[in-house]
Amino acid sequence: MFAELDTPSVLLDLDRVERNVRRMAALRDRLGVRLRPHIKTHKIPELARLQVAEGAAGITVAKVGEAEVMAAAGIADILIAYPVVGRHKLRRLMAVAQQARVSVALDSPAAAGDLSDLGEALKQGIPIYLELDTGFHRVGVSPRDALDAARALQRLPGLELVGLASYGGHVHGVGDTAAVDSIIAAEVQLLLETRDALHRAGMPVEEISIGGTVTTSRAAVRPELLAGVTEIRPGTYIFNDLNTVAEGACREEDCAATLLATVVSRPAPDRAVIDAGSKSLSSDSSPRIAGRGRVAGSGQVVEWITEEHGMLRLDPADPLAVGDRVAVIPIHICAMMNLHDRAYGVRGGQVVETFAVAGRGRVQ
Amino acid sequence: MFAELDTPSVLLDLDRVERNVRRMAALRDRLGVRLRPHIKTHKIPELARLQVAEGAAGITVAKVGEAEVMAAAGIADILIAYPVVGRHKLRRLMAVAQQARVSVALDSPAAAGDLSDLGEALKQGIPIYLELDTGFHRVGVSPRDALDAARALQRLPGLELVGLASYGGHVHGVGDTAAVDSIIAAEVQLLLETRDALHRAGMPVEEISIGGTVTTSRAAVRPELLAGVTEIRPGTYIFNDLNTVAEGACREEDCAATLLATVVSRPAPDRAVIDAGSKSLSSDSSPRIAGRGRVAGSGQVVEWITEEHGMLRLDPADPLAVGDRVAVIPIHICAMMNLHDRAYGVRGGQVVETFAVAGRGRVQ
């Protein structure tokens, strides 16, 4: 299998990638929203360009370093969905803002001070989304404090408050479609109520931006859940992984990214060891998913991992032997991609393209 | 704190690094063994050279890619403690073997076929350690099959069976010193019994090589545990982490590597969010350790993480604010180092050196 590649290597099934991208573009059309995919999942400029060519209005990133890579690749509209704090990042962001439209999602006036200076220096208002905590309790202003925060942001020069954003990460692991839909409905309701309160206070914010492949995929079944939303920021859908399968957002045959690995040991009848561990699969796990990855096709489970070893639980009759290769679907593809400098595009069993994961490791 | 650095950034306290390195060199002298540190912990050529300068006989790596980096940096004796399977790696290993003495630890004749061809091509016997499963049940031949495996390895041309190796990873999480010592004693006993059986069968293997900072550190208290061992391969000791503290192998003040991070949000009185998540700390966790990292000095716990966010649990009276910086001790430093292209050497509160993590991401 892919004899020209050493292992471990990331394989991207390009037919599946394109199908996933087109399916999300069709959903965007159906919902009548702007699509702004989060590129943290792939970190590959060519795939960001594919998403834009297939109808994305721009992209979402988490880091200034990712924005630099994507702006250099010609992406013209970039939302940094992360508070940009500190002078080092501001200096770099100034250069990016001269190549692309840059907007930022943040949750407090304290996080906006440096950006305000940047907007003034650039003599253009930097579009700002106020991030709301709709229940995930990560970042995000509490809805009861949102009006005050919005007023304070509006007073800062060099900024233009354009909308509200949220990430409903608390849909993960709920395990019940009705419960997921309730969470999404409550998230959207909070956003719309807050928008209305801002309107009454004379702040004409229009954008309502939500993230998440699971949230977005529910709108394929129940589009009314996202009524009032103007922008969606799903990321994982381009590749999918065991998480999005477990969450019901896709089927296993929609998983476009796998890790090609080699059996390096068959130390016991019920165990093979592959050269894929936390250093190439990531150590992300999920309480809903057994093990740390699953072999595509066979369903063999990577039962546990260390940095360089993945322990496959096998039927003792399984003939898998040292030197054999398997392709593993990861639990969390975004974390896996960040561990690799390259990924290989495949079609019909052939390697047809090598991608540099140019946004990998942009921690700053 | 370190205003010249952006965040997140890896800080290496060089005084502590040197103290850790010298302490292990002193233990080596006391035990009368060869020290062959595993460089997966740091992946930095300069630090491998420091370890050799302070008495290491050579180094241990997991990957051919790591061996390439370290051989190019002038390290003359490299053990690849991992089965090297497949033609791609063999071609590269041939080049490495012309720069340095290369030995390999593996657990089956099936994993030695390619290496045998390489040894023949090089017209020199490649030193081989047979890896024994002493209870961790990862790789390693079962002790009852070791004699057969050794005989089969000896029949392969181009190889020279020099010893036995093991990694007693099952000492982790045991939580009781007496239980840890029993595991170590049983590991060493299995190795020595197997060596004796090989001697009786006419195979003069001499090396008994064991890994692990926890295992090694117990010998500082009870050197007799390692009687008969000829080589130790600890890795983590150079930096240490919350794991080695929890295992009793060191104190918190021996932790030499931290992640400098910035507070980007204070969304609730009991929560601050820092720009350090699984993409910069790794998602490694431990059932023995609360959270995903701990702030050096203050003891504040990173309660949970996502890719770019670390949620600090705070006393509501804590004045930590957006823009403030903290240094986080990770749970597992080896996994963290693999996420960073650079690390910064600090002394007395000043950045004095920038290191390229040249062995990072060498998955193959």
Min Cα separation B30/chain A (Å) = 30
CA distance A12 to A321: 25
Return the residue of B nearest to A310 by Cα: B138
Return the residue of B nearest to A61 by Cα: B308
CA distance A58 to A51: 9
Question: What's the pLDDT tens digit per position in B272-293?
Answer: 999 999 999 999 999 999 999 9
ipTM comes to 0.97
The minimal CB distance from A363 to the residues B62, B280, B321 is found for B280
Query: Hey, of B4, B82, B115, B139, which one would you mutate to test binding to chain A, going by the most A CBs within 10 A of its CB?
Result: B139
- Chain mean pLDDT for chain B: 97
Question: What's the pLDDT tens digit per position in B99-122?
Answer: 999 999 999 999 999 999 999 999
| SS3 of chain A: helix, strand, coil, percent, to 5 | 40, 25, 35
User: Are A107 and B271 inside 8 Å of each other by CB?
Assistant: no
CATH number for the region A250-356 comes to: 2.40.37.20
Q: Is the pLDDT of residue A115 over 90?
A: yes
pLDDT of residue A292: 98
pLDDT of residue A338: 98
How many of the other CB atoms lie within 10 Å of CB of B134? Answer: 26
Q: Are A336 and A330 in contact (CB under 8 A)?
A: yes
User: Are B363 and A280 inside 8 Å of each other by CB?
Assistant: yes
User: Are A138 and B340 inside 8 Å of each other by CB?
Assistant: no
The minimal CB distance from A267 to the residues B133, B268, B323 is found for B133
User: Residues of B with CB below 8 A from A211's CB?
Assistant: none
pLDDT of residue A324: 98
Question: What's the pLDDT tens digit per position in B332-350?
Answer: 999 999 999 999 999 999 9
User: Are B86 and A7 inside 8 Å of each other by CB?
Assistant: yes
What band does A281 get if pLDDT is binned at 50, 70 and 90? very high
Q: Is the pLDDT of residue A19 over 90?
A: yes
Query: Hey, of B265, B289, B304, which one would you mutate to test binding to chain A, going by the most A CBs within 10 A of its CB?
Result: B265
Residues 228-287 of A with CB under 8 A from B: 262-268, 271, 273, 275, 278-280, 282-285
Q: Are A303 and A291 in contact (CB under 8 A)?
A: yes
How many of the other CB atoms lie within 10 Å of CB of A7? Answer: 25
Return the residue of A nearest to B140 by Cα: A267
pLDDT of residue A175: 79
Question: What's the pLDDT tens digit per position in A330-363?
Answer: 999 999 999 999 999 999 999 999 999 999 999 9
The minimal CB distance from B8 to the residues A111, A283, A364 is found for A364
Question: What's the pLDDT tens digit per position in A209-224?
Answer: 999 999 999 999 999 9
User: A87-91, A136-140, A318-322, B280-284: which range is least confident on average?
Assistant: A87-91
pLDDT of residue A14: 98
* Residue A325 φ then ψ, to 5°: -120, 150
Q: Is B218 on the interface with A (CB under 8 A)?
A: no
Distances (CA, A) of B219 to A100, A313, B23, B174, B215: 59, 34, 12, 17, 7
The minimal CB distance from A8 to the residues B275, B339, B363 is found for B363
Q: Is the pLDDT of residue B175 over 90?
A: no
Q: Looking at domain B32-238, which CATH architecture does it have?
A: Alpha-Beta Barrel (3.20)
Q: Is B116 on the interface with A (CB under 8 A)?
A: no
The conformation of residue A132, written as its DSSP 8-state character, comes to B
Q: Is the pLDDT of residue B219 over 90?
A: yes
3 state SS of B309 = coil
pLDDT of residue A1: 83
CA distance B66 to B71: 9
What is the secondary structure of B40-58 as a DSSP string?
Answer: GGT--HHHHHHHHHTT-S-
CATH of A15-239, one of 3.40.630.10, 3.20.20.10, 3.40.630.30, 3.40.47.10: 3.20.20.10
pTM of the predicted protein model:
0.97
CA B120 vs. chain centroid, Å, equals 31
User: Are B307 and A363 inside 8 Å of each other by CB?
Assistant: no
Q: Is A356 on the interface with B (CB under 8 A)?
A: no
CA distance B116 to B114: 5
- Chain mean pLDDT for chain A: 97
Q: Where are the domains of chain B?
A: 32-238, 250-356
The conformation of residue A63, written as its DSSP 8-state character, comes to S
